[in-house]
Amino acid sequence: MLAFGMGSLWSEGHSSSILCVGGSPGPEGLIASGAEGGEVTLWTQEGAVVRRLVLPGQDDVTSAAFSPAGAAHLYLSHGDTVSVFDTRNLKGPAEEFQGAGEEEINALALNETGSAVALADDSGAVRILEIPGGKVCRTLRRHTNICSSVAFRPHRPNNLVSVGLDMQVILWGLQKTRPLWTLNLQDVAEEEDDHQQRPGQLFNPPLAHCVSVSSCGNVVGCGAEDGRVHLMRIGGGSKLEQQGAVKAHTQGASQAHFLSAFSHPYWMVTGGNDGHVALWDLSKHPVVAPEGKTGKSQATAPQRRKGKSGGKRREQAQEKSKAEREEAGEDDEAAAKEQEEEKSGPKLSISHGEKVNWLYPAVLKGEVSVIVADQSPNLTVYPLSQL
**Statement: residue 337 has pLDDT above 70:** no
Q: What CA–CA distances, in Å, run from 122 to 53, 100, 231?
A: 25, 12, 24
Mean pLDDT across 211-225: 98
| Residue 233 CB coordination number (10 Å) | 22
| pLDDT for the residue numbered 319 | 57
Strand partners, 182: 170
The answer to whether residues 223 and 279 touch, using CB atoms and an 8 Å cutoff, is no
Q: What are phi and psi of 185, to 5 degrees?
A: -65, -25
The pLDDT value recorded for residue 25 is 85
pLDDT at 358 over 60: yes
Mean pLDDT of 42-48: 97
* pLDDT band, residue 365 (cuts 50/70/90): very high
Dump pLDDT digits (tens) for 67-106: 999 889 999 999 999 999 999 999 899 999 999 999 999 9
Q: Given a cut of 60, is residue 313 above it in pLDDT? A: no
pLDDT at 316: 53
pLDDT, residue 191, reads: 75
Residue 293 reports pLDDT greater than 50: no
Domain 2-193+203-287+345-383: what homologous superfamily? YVTN repeat-like/Quinoprotein amine dehydrogenase (2.130.10.10)
Percent of the chain past pLDDT 70, that is, above it, reads 81
Short-list 288, 196, 210, 193, CA closest to 256: 210
Which tens digit of pLDDT belongs to each residue from 9-24? 999 999 999 999 999 9
186-222 as b/e: b if 16+ CB within 10 A: eebbeebeeeeeeeeeeeeebbbbbbbbbeebbbbbb
Res. 315: pLDDT tops 90: no
Domain boundaries along the sequence of the chain? 2-193+203-287+345-383
Please compute the mean of the pLDDT values over residues 366-374 and round it to a whole number. 96
Of 226, 268, 232, which Cα lies nearest the Cα of 250?
226
> Whole-model pTM?
0.85
7-11, 40-44, 209-213, 312-316: least confident range: 312-316
Closest by Cα among 294, 268, 274 to 347: 268
pLDDT exceeds cutoff 50 at 307: no
Provide the pLDDT confidence category of residue 327 given band limits of 50, 70 and 90.
low
DSSP codes of every residue in 370-382: EEEEESSS-EEEE
Residue 4 has pLDDT above 70, yes or no: no
pLDDT at position 58 over 80: yes
Note the pLDDT of residue 190.
76
pLDDT of residue 153: 98
Q: Choose the weakest-confidence range: 130-134, 144-148, 199-203.
A: 199-203
Q: According to the model, what pLDDT value does residue 385 have?
A: 76
Mean pLDDT of 326-342: 54
Mean pLDDT of 203-207: 89
276 compared with 321, residue with greater pLDDT = 276
